[in-house]
Amino acid sequence: MRPPIHQLASADPSPWSDALSPSDGLPIRDSGPWIATKHRLLTYCAELFATGMQHKWRSRVYLELFSGPGKCVVRDTGKEAPGSPLKVINHLFTRFIFTEKNRAAAEALATRIEPYENSSRTEIWCGDCAEAVPHLHIPKGSLTFAFIDPTGIGHAPFALIEALHRKTQCDLLINIQHGMGIKMNIHQYTPDADEQSALTRFLGNDGWKRLPRHHPGDFFRGVLDLYKGQLDRLGFAFTGREVLIETQKRTPLYLLLFASKHERGKEFWEKSVKGVMHPELDFGL
């Protein structure tokens, strides 16, 4: 079944600016080879979550806020790979909710999900995820795994995390733009920046203005600690180790940060990190 697409006022009607897939002619995301690590961590953790919670929570929701078109191409090799939504669509969730701003990408995602059995459990919201979240109907008594995968810190303000926290009991896997988002833009983040500064919106406060800024790495670490403090304030007390995703030349790109209100969530994440980053430890599933 083709999943329904709910159109929002903020949907972006512009044509898809990346390539079209040679195999199905639909929009495709241009990615680096590091996408494989991000997807492996996501799928490992989402799988542990969905199976581990199967007998505890009847309603288990997978929610992805920046879904993309459901397929990517690795630019160095030209090889196509499924996007994150298709990586998790066979997992044991009872509901799948995707939000994607670009209309062509949302349509492509619907077409690509259609052949899967879980397509009947899927809905897509086309528009800004900040507009979508208040509209989502997540049944009471659900446990949600939320993957937040923006391309810049400006796309995922802390208000979005607060809205999710109000909407549903959830664990969060968040992509935090490290290099391009924070470190490389440190010159923009001066103490006279106003409250619309991307960093203030990302953190939900301007505590970053008091951080030492001599070294971009230390500044980033300080921002991350403030962000974790904000999560803790909402009850996400278990944040686990964050994983740095780098280019082949070891340029830092982004961090994957997991946050849960329960120790069990942190266990799932720690297992996933060992399983993906250190498979030689063979800890067993």
Ligand X SMILES: C[S@@+](CC[C@H](N)C(=O)[O-])C[C@H]1O[C@@H](n2cnc3c(N)ncnc32)[C@H](O)[C@@H]1O
CA distances from 244 to 37, 174, 194, 253, 277 (A): 10, 12, 29, 7, 11
Contacting residue, 102, 144, 168, 200, with ligand X by CB under 6 A: 102
Contacting residue, 43, 45, 100, 257, with ligand X by CB under 6 A: 100
Q: How far is the CB of 222 from ligand X (least distance, A)?
A: 25
Q: How far is the CB of 60 from ligand X (least distance, A)?
A: 19
Q: What CA–CA distance (Å, rounded) separates 59 from 22?
A: 37
Q: How far is the CB of 38 from ligand X (least distance, A)?
A: 6
Question: To 10 degrees, what angle do helices 35-52 and 263-277 make?
Answer: 140
> What string marks each residue from 223 to 262 as x (binds ligand X by CB under 6 A) or -?
----------------------------------------
105 touches ligand X by CB under 6 A: yes
Q: How far is the CB of 210 from ligand X (least distance, A)?
A: 29
From the list 19, 25, 38, the residue with the least C-alpha distance to 78 is 19
Question: Per CB under 6 A, which of residues 10..49 are in contact with ligand X?
Answer: 29
Q: How far is the CB of 147 from ligand X (least distance, A)?
A: 7
CA distances from 193 to 28, 231, 282 (A): 36, 23, 48
Question: Per CB under 6 A, which of residues 113..172 are in contact with ligand X?
Answer: 128-129, 149, 151, 155
> What string marks each residue from 57 to 86 as x (binds ligand X by CB under 6 A) or -?
---------xxx---x----------xx--
From the list 250, 249, 241, the residue with the least C-alpha distance to 278 is 241
Q: What is the DSSP annotation of 211-252?
A: S--SSHHHHHHHHHHHHHHHHHHTT--B----EEEE-TT--E
**Nearer to ligand X by C-beta: 86 or 234?**
86
Site for ligand X (CB under 6 A): how many residues?
17
Judge contact between 180 and 253, C-beta under 8 A.
yes
Read off φ and ψ for residue 199, nearest 5 degrees: -70, -40
**Nearer to ligand X by C-beta: 66 or 269?**
66
Query: In this chain, which residue has its C-beta nearest to ligand X?
Result: 83
Q: How far is the CB of 110 from ligand X (least distance, A)?
A: 14
Query: Is 171 strand, coil or helix?
Result: strand
Residue ranges binding ligand X (CB under 6 A):
29, 66-68, 72, 83-84, 99-102, 105, 128-129, 149, 151, 155
